[in-house]
Amino acid sequence: MDSKQALRRTAQSKRAADPPSHEYGHLLGPLIASATRVASYVPLESEPGLPPQPGWLLPVVLPDGDLDWALYDDGVGPAGFGLTEPVGPRLGVEAISTCDLVITPALLVDRQGTRLGKGRGCYDRALARCSGFTVAVLCDGELVDTLPAEPHDVPVRAVVTPALGVVTLPAKM
């Protein structure tokens, strides 16, 4: 077992014991209001997040683990891996590059922007195509000093937590 796997299990256990119950809309409101196009996700019960809004792009997990995108305008339906996905037409994996704000899920993020997800690399692939401002939604205590990083890990530019609000992180060189 690698250290990322152990960190994932610990973070998921903490969330299962104390599910997220905070509203993040007011914390992300200024970023959302200034964005032209937003990509986000439909949070699971165990994930912090906010309800998607009409016009936002939401992910569709492809069989190879990459993320396609679709507009939320037509609603959502059940998908694989216990997820919910938009039912509208697919826009392609490059659609995320049109967003100036990308709200991502994460289990942990470190102060350098290294994001620990669930381990499939879906968001690392997508974030590599992104030029917009990226922010991970976390519970309190999930912004940590350091995480193990690999070459394929794509850092986020900020995190949001109930206690800290939006915290901008230093860009990695």
Supply the pLDDT for residue 82. 74
- For the chain, how many helices (H) and strands (E)? 3, 12
Entry pTM: 0.93
Residue 173 lies in a domain: no
Q: What is the mean pLDDT of each run of 10 residues along the chain (173 residues)?
A: 84 91 90 97 90 94 93 84 85 97 97 91 93 96 94 95 95 59
C-alpha–C-alpha distance, residues 146 and 112, integer Å? 7
Supply the pLDDT for residue 76. 87
* CATH number of the domain where residue 100 is located: 3.40.50.10420
Domain extent for 9: 3-168
Supply the pLDDT for residue 2. 58
Domain count, the chain: 1
Q: Which two tokens stand for residue 140?
A: 């309190």
